[in-house]
Amino acid sequence: MAPRRKKIYEGKAKILYEGPEPGTLIQYFKDDATAGNGQRKEVFEGKGALNSRLSEFFMTGLNAIGVPTHFIRTLNMREQLVRQVEIIPLEVIVRNYAAGSMARRLGLDEGTQLPRPIVEFCYKADKLGDPLVPEEYIVAFGWASQQDLDDIVSLALRVNDFLSGVMHGVGIRLIDFKIEVGRIWDNDFPSLVVADEISPDSARLWDIATGRKLDKDVFRQNLGSLTDAYAEVARRLGVLPQGTTHHRIKPTLIN
Ligand code: CDP
């Protein structure tokens, strides 16, 4: 049987298919979770739908306040129509509190507030484990220009302000997150947009009241149910997808 449509790329958590019109793609969210650069892999039923819904929520909010993203519209529970972009080969990380690799590198306690938001760049190269790189490497090797980098930092800080505020409103602290940035062309004019996804797979989200982790660290550190954590974020934001509500099957007492 002929495939329904052409697969353009398959990553660890998403698949990109050819879109219905030139310049568009379909982004499909898988249920797979990986950690340690793909060394550990598990499937969590419902994760794809939750991430798709959450990413839609954040991207739509960003578009509405004038921060451009690749998101066009949701097609179904785990598929979105997005603009095709030229991905800048960087993982753009914004940190508000120390955690993960930064806490390890600097010997800081996880959760230490940083003096100000810090933006850092990793070179997107799975084989190398996405190494942290200074801006000078990025410009010298031509992965992005200095002007691009200045624009990327502004974009990343606007995303940070938006996400921090939205999450604070539902009692969640935005510790850090990663975005990817893509270039689009409109009538020969290039501009940079937020691409990929914004979800608990690519952010650290801690409940302010209890410190409970509500992100992929739940999987990385075996802290319980990953989908319960993601569903909690979606529930607080009022965007829990229909049909993915957790039916906790409990024994029913029959008299
Ligand atoms: O996750 P890890 O401790 O290895 O890396 P990090 O540099 O502390 O990650 C900072 C933030 O970026 C976390 O929210 C990660 O989930 C996210 N990140 C990501 O989404 N994808 C990567 N390849 C690396 C980091």
- Rounded to the nearest integer, the mean pLDDT of the chain is 94
Please report whether residue 123 resides in a domain.
yes
pTM: 0.93
What is the per-residue pLDDT for 51? 98
Q: Is 81 helix (H, G, I), strand (E, B) or coil?
A: strand
- Cα dist. 203→141, 168, 181, 187 in Å? 28, 14, 16, 34
Domain membership of residue 21 as a residue range: 7-85+226-248
What is the per-residue pLDDT for 248? 46
What is the per-residue pLDDT for 37? 83
- Angle at which helices 47-64 and 226-237 cross, to 10°: 30
Is residue 109 domain-shared with residue 120, that is, in the same domain?
Answer: yes
Which protein residue has the closest C-alpha to ligand 1 atom 25? 178
Asked whether the predicted pLDDT for residue 250 surpasses 90, the reply is no
Is residue 106 domain-shared with residue 186, that is, in the same domain?
Answer: yes
Is residue 76 domain-shared with residue 132, that is, in the same domain?
Answer: no
The model's pLDDT over 220-241, given as tens digits with 9 standing for 90+, comes to 999 999 999 999 999 999 999 7
Structural domain count, the chain:
2
CA distance 161 to 163: 6
CATH assignment at residue 16: 3.30.200.20
CATH assignment at residue 111: 3.30.470.20
Asked whether the predicted pLDDT for residue 247 surpasses 80, the reply is no
| Ligand 1 atom closest to the CA of 99, numbered from 1 | 8
Chain centroid to Cα 34, Å, comes to: 14
Residues enclosing ligand 1, CB less than 6 A? 91, 93, 99-102, 130, 176-178, 202-204, 216
| Antiparallel, parallel or unpaired: β 113-123 and 132-133 | antiparallel
| Ligand 1 atom closest to the CA of 175, numbered from 1 | 14
Query: Amino acid letter at 114?
Result: L
Is residue 163 domain-shared with residue 193, that is, in the same domain?
Answer: yes
Q: How far is the CA of 237 from the centre of ligand 1 (A)?
A: 23
Burial category of 94 from C-beta neighbours within 10 Å (exposed 0-12, middle 13-18, buried 19 and up): buried
Is residue 100 domain-shared with residue 203, that is, in the same domain?
Answer: yes
CA distance 30 to 109: 33
Q: Is 227 helix (H, G, I), strand (E, B) or coil?
A: helix
What is the arithmetic mean of pLDDT over 62-76? 98
The CB-side HSE value for 66 (13 A sphere, CA atoms) comes to 1
